[in-house]
Amino acid sequence: MNGNLPLWAVILLGLPLPLFSDLLSVGGKSYVEFLYIFLVGYYVFANDSVTEKIAKYRFVFLPIGLLACTAYVICFIWLEVPYEWVNDIGIYVGRWFMILGLIGVGPKYLDFHGKVATYLSHISFAFFGLHFLFIVVMQYLFSGVLEGKIALLYFVPVLLSYLLTFLFSDLFMRIPPLCFLIGGKFRKKTKKT
């Protein structure tokens, strides 16, 4: 990808998100939308000159993202008025500007090296591929049990689904055929001498 992509064009890359929201949607989450974000990350945000431009405005992008996400959560949980357009604006603006803000913050504050970071990097693709499945299944299983308890209906399934995602990502990366199916790269353990 060309590093000469101006910042306004990077910001505009978030515009197609609402168009993808209903394509291959499972449980209200669109595989096409998340694939688009993944591909933009792979082809656009992998370029250091683009991330340097984003980093200059990270403290503008993060507050915009936080405010939009907060508006979305407040409208979704506590407002019983049908302002669906406010929810839509909140979630898409929040999602895109949080992505930009975190990409801007990442190189300076989140560039870790060590065993944990190496492990997370190793399972990241499996985690990406599996997390959505567990979130949808956990939301379905707990929807009847935690009916009416919106905060618990969010936090309990999300925490359990991420725990299961970590476990299964690790399992998938240890078994060569499963590793291949999830698109990972199998690494044999070497004995230290």
Q: Tokens at residue 60, please?
A: 């503008």
Query: Tens digit of pLDDT for each residue in 95-137?
Result: 999 999 999 998 777 777 788 888 888 888 788 788 888 988 9
Say how far apart CA 90 and CA 74 lie, in whole Å.
10
Query: Tens digit of pLDDT for each residue in 25-69?
Result: 776 778 888 888 888 887 888 888 898 999 999 999 999 999 998
User: DSSP characters for 77-124?
Assistant: HT--S--HHHHHHHHHHHHHHHHHHHHHHHHHHS---SHHHHHHHHHH
Give the predicted TM-score (pTM) of the model: 0.63
- SS3 label, residue 75: helix
